[in-house]
Amino acid sequence: MAIRVTVWNEYLHEVQFKEIAAVYPQGIHGCIREFLEKEGFEVKTATLMEPEHGLTQEVLDHTDVLIWWGHMAHHKVQDEIVERVYRRVLDGMGLIVLHSGHASKIFQKLCGTDSSRLKWREDGEKEILWVVDPGHPIAAGLGEKIILEQEEMYGEHFDIPKPDEQVFISWFQGGEVFRSGCCWHRGKGKVFYFRPGHESFPVYYQPEIQKVICNAVRWAAPVDGPDSVYGNTQPVVELHLKEMKTIAGLHESAK
């Protein structure tokens, strides 16, 4: 069965600015959808202005990996939808957060930090993404580096929790470095943050960037692991105690 991917995009820059529409005439989500479909994934898209931002419970229940691109309207994403996505990640849905999605509500909730805090500069300077974990599945089929001729700069310190796995680090022409490919596990779900993708530059047409995202989808896809049981539970091994004292119901009786 094909991995089911939903590509979420604000889809505001492409509508409001003709310069951005010229770069991504089908929207950033349309560009990403096209190359994912060529890789055999089952893909649908959703955008901010759709009812429930296109992320109904039914859509999310039929999504294995959600890709998130946002920039200018993080504050417009309803908290109810953020919570819905968060719960699905804990239950096993993969999440790939792209570029300025670092400041999204969902990424901040999963990080537990103010992940909007970093340095930035929109000079269109050269970026080199170095692979720092060449054995990682997301780096499969890549060379040791990816060169982007023009990109927005992001610089450290990036206020995120220490990644479980670090795949890429970026160098920029102005001298800054940045942790550009970071992985975390949350509940049963996997989260990957990938930095490139400023809307003014045709980054998502670059084959190496497409390769990273396709690899990340496969890495983040759910696995058929056991479902955890939480809360009060019975012992899994029979207890043989001469005298067993219990505090069951103690807290309830004290209310």
Contact 121, 98 (CB under 8 A): no
Task: Give residue-wise pLDDT tens across range 183-202.
Answer: 999 999 999 999 999 999 99
Rounded Cα distance, 131 and 113, in Å = 25
| Residue range 4-116+181-226, CATH number | 3.40.50.880
End-to-end CA distance of the chain: 51
pLDDT, tens digit, for every residue of 68-107? 999 999 999 999 999 999 999 999 999 999 999 999 999 9
Q: Decide if pLDDT at 254 tops 80.
A: no
Q: What does the mean pLDDT of the chain come to? A: 95
Q: Choose among 89, 118, 88, 84: nearest CA to 101.
A: 118
Annotated domain spans of the chain: 4-116+181-226
Question: What are the phi and psi torsion angles at 118 (to 5°)?
Answer: -165, 175
CA dist., res. 16 & res. 11, Å (int) = 9
pTM equals: 0.94
